[in-house]
Structure 1
């Protein structure tokens, strides 16, 4: 008789355990963009380093297209960080090394 009660409660206990774990998960809500970030994103997307990659684009060559997409992302990130630094904001998540003046 006791085996009949153990089996149904085991899946229920597992579901409760998994449900409880989701209560302590980190929030994935997007952080609102600051006006400086918005301005720097616009500036980075119009940067000459990013725009010059369009001359190399060949719609018939998918490998070239993928390479240029990765290169564009890297150049955009670099231009964005340069813009933010110029406005006095360092990169997120750490301490920027001291630059002698």
Structure 2
């Protein structure tokens, strides 16, 4: 039988999990060039080739493939932005392993 002293921590844990995160404010919408480059980078052949290696259920494979897909998508996005002459967001490009 659940006593009130045992039920209280469970209710507190449930309440902590049920709270919503604060709303995101001051989000700047993408420019038309950024939106086009994001769509192009999602459909990039390199990104699709990496995602074909995904093996659901294998945690290590999922982590590796998702990371490589994010890197390939970011690379395709930056290449598209450069090709269109748009300024890149951020200041310093991430270090890439050789």
TM-score range (shorter-chain normalised) is 0.5 to 0.7
Q: Deviations over 1:62-97 (max 9, x none)?
A: 1100111111111101100100110001322349xx
> Paired residue for 1:76, among 70, 73, 78?
73
Moved >4 Å (runs of 4+): none
Q: Please say if 1:36 is aligned against 2:33.
A: yes
Q: Deviations over 1:19-75 (max 9, x none)?
A: xxxxxxxxx510111011110011000001100012211112111001111111111
Structure 1: 5+ residue stretches without partners: 1-27, 96-101
Aligned in 2, Cα 1:90/1:66: closer, same or farther, shift over 3 Å? same
Query: Where does residue 88 of structure 1 map in the other structure?
Result: 85
Aligned in 2, Cα 1:53/1:94: closer, same or farther, shift over 3 Å? closer
Structure 2: 5+ residue stretches without partners: 1-24, 93-98
RMSD (CA atoms) = 2.1
